[in-house]
Structure 1
Amino acid sequence: MSTSYVFAPHQAAALPVAGSAALFPVRRVYCVGRNYAGHAREMGSDPNREPPFFFCKPGDADAVVAVPAGATVELPFPPRTEDFHHECELVVAIGKGGANIPAADAPSHIFGYAVGLDMTRRDLQGQMKAAGRPWEIGKAFDFSAPVGSVHPAASVPGIGNAAIALQVDGAVKQSGHVADMIWSIAETIANLSTLFTLQPGDLIFTGTPEGVGAVQRGQLLTAHVDGLTDIAVRYV
């Protein structure tokens, strides 16, 4: 007997896989907060190694935008913000699930890596922080998570030392190295897996280096991580 829905099921997000015709289906999106010391300081926090904290973005195609290689994707500028910020990040794509994953085993759970943007309505996020309320309206809005092609882990063995950078209209605004993370990729996966059972298709945004700042309508954002496909996005 065929399944009947009261309306068409929502569209799932999927990302291109570099060197393949296959797509990576997205399940959930987890984000690590303040995982680079410089960014923690610029946000007014202590960058010491306190336990990492996490927040989520929707895993559907409303929030996750697949950015094709070589393309500039135009997206709607989000409503009700006067302080819209870029955050360039290394994204980890999970290929094997698990809970309570030891850090030493974490690499075996990684399918690959991509470049992503954790776009943020900073003014709305700040209002929620001040009121002790959740951050969703600052982080989990439509088109808030552009992501590029997923590169299989074996193809980027040096990702732990990769440079990460973001340009706005050709000017470098963020620059750092994955090695600057307070919590490494493996440590992040291990800690996150004590809170949630990770599953294939999960994405982990691993934090952003210092230099986050406001984006104006029409500006070109170009995000880069060594060894991965750049992404180019313009909010109009």
Structure 2
Amino acid sequence: MSAIRVVVADDMEVVRAGFAALLDTQPDLAVAGTAADGAEAVRRCAELDPDVVLMDVRMPVMDGIEAARRITAAGGPARVLMLTTFDLDEHVYDALVAGASGFLLKDVTAERLFDAVRVVAAGEALLAPGITRRLIGEFARLRPRPAAPALAALTPRETDVLRLVAEGLSNPEIAARLVIGEETVKTHVSRVLRKLGLRDRVQAVVTAYESGLVVPRTGAG
């Protein structure tokens, strides 16, 4: 099995080198290249075709959000994992809307970093449910709502599944709530993503809030 190829993008050399050195300690992870700004990250992804990009939010020349948008729009295999200092950073919400598959705090432990890269490379989203709801709920509530996507394309059961995904439930929890099999839940989630043109569960959560299917809570929740 080939190693997961990673590009590390951060404008601080010590951070960039530190993450790269950590990742290279794992036999199933390989640092394909590094970048000091967003524009370089976009170029490196086009050249190297990595599986995962560790992307700092704030960088010169081009920030991590615009870089994430361009990388995901290019349609390649690279999945973007944002690096940030604050878990409720407005820029993280923007990055998720731009197509990032999740985010990590910069003070992440080494093991958490390794697991995160593996999870995202496997096509999963990386967000703790509680953080997801607070983050997306807060900014969806504060911002003008864009035009709703074609939720009418979903069946009633698919709509139920999307709502529960947005509430932060895992596949086993959704299966228990709806009294259906876990494989059936996976099938429904796949169909929801395909019908709405979404890459992963993170984008599904954003869509559920922005379409009004799930209403953000006004208090802590």
Fold equivalence (TM over 0.5): no
Smaller-chain TM-score bracket: under 0.3
The structure with higher relative contact order (CA 8 Å, sep 6+) is 1
Structure in which a larger fraction of residues adopt helix: 2
Q: Calculate the TM-score normalised by the size of structure 2.
A: 0.26
Structure in which a larger fraction of residues adopt strand: 1
